[in-house]
Amino acid sequence: MEKLQKALLAWYRENPRSLPWRGEKDPYRILVAEVLLQQTRTAQAIPYYHRFLARFPTLKALREASSEEVLRAWQGAGYYRRALHLHRLAQEVEALPRSHAELLKLPGLGPYTAAAVASLAFGERVAAVDGNVRRVLSRVFALENPAPRALWNLAQGLLPPGEAPGEWNQALMDLGATVCLPRRPLCPRCPIAPFCRGRVDPGRYPGGRKREVREEALAALVLWGREGVYLTRLEGRFAGLYGVPLFPQEELPWRVRGFGVDPRFAGEVRHALTHRRLRVAVYVASWDGEGMVPGEKPLPKLMEKVLRQAQAFLAHEGILPFPHAKTHGVKPLEPG
Ligand code: SF4
């Protein structure tokens, strides 16, 4: 055990990843990084990390912003509920609590994020087990589909005495991200290969059933007019953001009747979410209904794609496309 710990820490000290939040001690900045990394790949997260912190450098600045401003700063990073949770959290606490147990009570913080903040910012001896760490430990100890609690206990027992726990947590995460890769682990380069029981057949661990990716057929209705595009506030996973009406493909006839339009098919866009693949048929129609006022609104990436598709179609038809990022209606309007 001790040899494994020493080997991994020595490797980490020589090969740390250069990330903007490395060495950071400000708990708020660590929190923003960890929340972004929950669902966004590291390389993609970096520009959003800088943009969000430039706009909201402190918890206080975040507290004083409107949720729309917060969503706009998060725009493009996806999984917007994370940004709304951060915003709510800023309203609940003056400063981030120092312990894992207290951090866990805050909105949007699961065991991993709370442990990462507690160990990195406050030096608490608590193991942070994310997907990377789960994979590394499952392989090292040859565990097939280990239960989360059992894995956490194992990780907790592995924390080296006397070392900064944040450093150890990061060492394990880095090994998972750069060496013990999901598909092709680089075992010959691995500093803990001599201690790894799963090395003979790493693909077997952690195993477990993969969640199926479902395909969904949707339709989006782009109603455009002199003042812009009709947008409504979205619900569900895009709550707080804006978009054109989006619904299951089979609902198109009655949705169209509700608005009293005769739309044209403008092409299809595809969009991937964690466990769903969306195929969205884009329909366009000119419309002079109420509720289209100018003003920038935060849009999810899917809606940007839909509007770009509609714009391209209209431009091809010789119709002056609407400036999609500038003029959007905000008044929610239900069809029918
Ligand atoms: Fe992962 Fe291979 Fe290292 Fe084991 S030896 S921890 S499987 S990279």
Q: What is the pLDDT of residues 290-300, one digit of tens each?
A: 756 455 788 88
Q: How far is CA 321 from CA 16, 281, 328, in A?
A: 48, 19, 13
pTM (two decimals):
0.76
Task: Quote the Cα angle for 92-93-96, to 5°.
Answer: 135
Task: Name the β-bridge partners of 52.
Answer: none
Nearest atom in ligand 1 to 196's CA: 4
Measured in Å, residue 17 CA sits from the centre of ligand 1 at: 18
User: Taking the mean position of all CA atoms in its chain, how far away is CA 207?
Assistant: 24
Q: Which of 34, 64, 163, 334 is catalytic?
A: 34
Other CB atoms closer than 10 Å to residue 260's CB: what's the count?
A: 10
Measured in Å, residue 206 CA sits from the centre of ligand 1 at: 12
**Consecutive H or E run containing 216:** strand 214-225
Question: Of all protein residues, whose CA lies closest to atom 1 belonging to ligand 1?
Answer: 180
Domains of the chain: 2-204 (1.10.340.30), 214-328 (3.90.79.10)
DSSP letter at 322?
Answer: P
Instruction: Tell me the pLDDT of the chain averaged across its residues.
Output: 88
Task: Specify the length of the chain in residues.
Answer: 336
Task: Name the β-bridge partners of 280.
Answer: 218, 269
Other CB atoms closer than 10 Å to residue 167's CB: what's the count?
A: 16
Q: Give the residue, out of 139, 143, 172, 200, with the most ligand 1 atoms within 8 A of its beta carbon, to mutate for a pocket test.
A: 139
Other CB atoms closer than 10 Å to residue 183's CB: what's the count?
A: 6
Is 215 known to be catalytic? no
Q: Give the residue, out of 199, 200, 204, with the most ligand 1 atoms within 8 A of its beta carbon, to mutate for a pocket test.
A: 199
Measured in Å, residue 38 CA sits from the centre of ligand 1 at: 23
Q: How far apart are CA 77 and CA 209, in angstroms?
A: 28
Name the stretches of the chain with pLDDT < 70: 163, 209-211, 291-295, 320-336
Q: What distance, in Å, lies between the first and last C-alpha atoms of the chain?
A: 67
Three-state SS for 19? coil
* Burial environment of residue 66 by CB neighbours within 10 A (0 to 12, 13 to 18, 19 or more): exposed
Q: Which residues line ligand 1 (CB under 6 A)?
A: 136, 139-140, 179-180, 185-187, 190, 192-193, 196, 198-199, 202
pLDDT digits (tens, 9 = 90+) for 131-140: 999 999 999 9
Can the peptide bond before residue 206 be classed as cis, meaning omega within 30 degrees of 0? yes
Query: HSE-up of 159 (CA within 13 Å, CB side)?
Result: 24
The torsion angles phi and psi of 176, rounded to 5 degrees, stand at -65, -35
